[in-house]
Amino acid sequence: MTNFESDPELVEEETPSTGDLALADRVALRRVAGLSTELTDVTEVEYRQLRLERVVLVGVWTDGDSAYAEASLAELARLAETAGSEVLDGLVQRRPRPDPATYIGSGKVRELRDLAVSQGADTIICDGELSPSQLRQLEERVKLKVIDRTALILDIFAQHASSREGKAQVELAQLQYMLPRLRGWGEAMSRQAGGRLAGGGIGGRGPGETKLETDRRRIHKRIAKLRREINLMGQARQTKRSRRLGSTTPNVAIAGYTNAGKSSLLNAVTDAGVLVEDALFATLDPATRRGVTPDGRPLTFTDTVGFVRHLPHQLVEAFRSTLEEVADADLLVHVVDGSDAVPTRQVSSVRDVLREITEDRENPMPPELLVVNKIDQASEVVLAELRHLFPDAVFVSAHTREGIEDLRQRISDALPRPGDVVDALVPYSRGELVARVHEEGEVLEEEHTDTGTRLRARVWPNLAAALREFAVDVPARH
């Protein structure tokens, strides 16, 4: 095992002023999380008890070099801190694969327990998704609360979700995760099977089991209700989206690994005041902002939920409708943190999730523009490697604004452009058409005459059709 220290310097940096309010809300929310829900009497529920305080991390390192293993644990530490816990220590064990019974090798369990006790930890967090029985067995042997990476990420999402849809999506994911992990459920099942084999059966059923069955039924009902609600909210969003698609204003989705600087870039390219925070999963609700290209064409940007390695599949499923916004965009700006220890791993995790979301869709993914951010903080060696691997990427810093104008130009170049050039004399009574040309098209010449606005503009076909009756016959220009 190698020892690993979490660096408290990583946690607190300067807090930008944007979004302070949302941040304050979130802190308040964090304090009361887990106190009030419709399921308060489901006491065995894992996530209700996730009030992490002092934690020790443990990971199994199966492949790659030790830098990968340490980076992975460093990320787990940041996730744990994001969830509000204090990281005391971390251990990685090298093994071909996790132990089927106790995740880390059974011989190491004692070592883990000694370390946790000596540090005064109350919780162990494992860097992977453990089976319900692995969790239980490890917990029984270290005699401390054990949770896995999936539960941790679910907890963070639960703390951060603020929209009604986001909250419902997270709760659905949590309930799905929790269902097979209701405490005692495993034993109850085996007791039942064993009892039947022994010809007993009835005596094997305790009152606790009845309670579990009730809880399970209630959870199933709640899951069904949430699914219905999410479905309805998704339809409402779909309507909004098709209205947006109908407007022909191109949409750019900003996606990428959590904390890569997606919201900062959105602010840098549009001057929008979106919450930026040195915390994982600061953004959980997609926000759409208007912007303009350097040549004055309007466009919209959608900021999205950050991705993370091994994003729990329950979450991918629950957030599918939100993530699909990415797939409907005209351009996908994929932001990667150039100052990360292994940026290429961020890129492949994000692409994996995107593939998972879009694999059963008819429409292909929009073109991807890879943006390496935080170049002010990245090492020259890593940047050189990234330039070599991704020759088409744009290198920027949202902080120093280096490369931002270039990025705006590259986005502009990658977007679909209105095609037809029209020359029209629009009477002043039809001002709304002139407004639409400004909004959706590209004005080449504009002149206010006695009879109306003379416009030469590049517009989309539907607007060209609307302008046809005012078209001015001019000799074709070359």
Ligand X SMILES: Nc1nc2c(ncn2[C@@H]2O[C@H](COP(=O)(O)OP(=O)(O)OP(=O)(O)O)[C@@H](O)[C@H]2O)c(=O)[nH]1
Query: Whole-number minimum distance, CB 12 to Mg ion, in Å?
Result: 18
Looking at beta carbons only, is 263 or 314 nearer to ligand X?
263
Among Mg ion, ligand X, none, residue 154 binds (CB under 5-8 Å by kind)? none
Among Mg ion, ligand X, none, residue 260 binds (CB under 5-8 Å by kind)? ligand X
Query: Whole-number minimum distance, CB 375 to Mg ion, in Å?
Result: 19
Q: Using CB under 6 A, which of 399, 417, 430, 454 touches ligand X?
A: 399
User: What residues does 92 pair with on adjacent strands?
Assistant: 2, 59
CA–CA gap between residue 258 and residue 200 (Å, rounded): 53
Looking at beta carbons only, is 123 or 263 nearer to ligand X?
263
Contact flag: residue 258 with ligand X (CB under 6 A): yes
Query: Whole-number minimum distance, CB 104 to ligand X, in Å?
Result: 30
CA–CA gap between residue 427 and residue 472 (Å, rounded): 12
The DSSP secondary-structure symbol of 32 reads H
Contact flag: residue 376 with ligand X (CB under 6 A): yes
- Residues near 445 by beta carbon (within 8 Å), at least 6 away in sequence: 454, 455, 456, 457
Angle between helices 380-389 and 343-358 (to 10 degrees): 40
Looking at beta carbons only, is 137 or 397 nearer to ligand X?
397
C-alpha 376: how far from its chain's center? Answer: 24
Contact flag: residue 403 with ligand X (CB under 6 A): no
Q: What is the CA radius of gyration of the chain?
A: 27
Contact flag: residue 11 with ligand X (CB under 6 A): no
CA–CA gap between residue 311 and residue 149 (Å, rounded): 9
Tokens 């926000």 — which residue? Answer: 287
Which pair of tokens denotes residue 149?
């990476």
Among ligand X, Mg ion, none, residue 52 binds (CB under 5-8 Å by kind)? none
List residues near Mg ion by CB under 5 A.
262-263, 282-283
Looking at beta carbons only, is 13 or 446 nearer to ligand X?
13
Of 260, 266, 254, 265, whose CA–CA distance to 326 is shortest?
254
Q: Using CB under 6 A, which of 134, 263, 302, 453 touches ligand X?
A: 263
Tokens 């930026």 — which residue? Answer: 276
CB 86 within 8 A of CB 54: yes
CA–CA gap between residue 446 and residue 455 (Å, rounded): 5
Query: Whole-number minimum distance, CB 322 to ligand X, in Å?
Result: 13
Size of the site for ligand X (CB under 6 A): 24
CA–CA gap between residue 423 and residue 421 (Å, rounded): 7
Contact flag: residue 113 with ligand X (CB under 6 A): no
Among Mg ion, ligand X, none, residue 280 binds (CB under 5-8 Å by kind)? ligand X
Rounded to the nearest 10°, the torsion over CA 337, 340, 343, 346 is -70
Query: Whole-number minimum distance, CB 373 to ligand X, in Å?
Result: 5
CA–CA gap between residue 310 and residue 356 (Å, rounded): 12
Query: Whole-number minimum distance, CB 256 to Mg ion, in Å?
Result: 9
Task: List C-alpha distances in Å: 283 to 286, 305, 309.
Answer: 7, 6, 17
Looking at beta carbons only, is 102 or 270 nearer to ligand X?
270
CB 335 within 8 A of CB 371: yes
Looking at beta carbons only, is 396 or 426 nearer to ligand X?
396
Contact flag: residue 150 with ligand X (CB under 6 A): no
Query: Whole-number minimum distance, CB 407 to ligand X, in Å?
Result: 11
Footprint of ligand X on residues 265-304 (CB under 6 A)? 276-283
Among Mg ion, ligand X, none, residue 72 binds (CB under 5-8 Å by kind)? none
Q: Using CB under 6 A, which of 134, 137, 259, 321 touches ligand X?
A: 259
CA–CA gap between residue 249 and residue 459 (Å, rounded): 11
Looking at beta carbons only, is 399 or 438 nearer to ligand X?
399
Contact flag: residue 262 with ligand X (CB under 6 A): yes
> Which residues in this chain contact ligand X in the complex, by CB under 6 A?
13, 258-264, 276-283, 306, 373-374, 376-377, 397-399
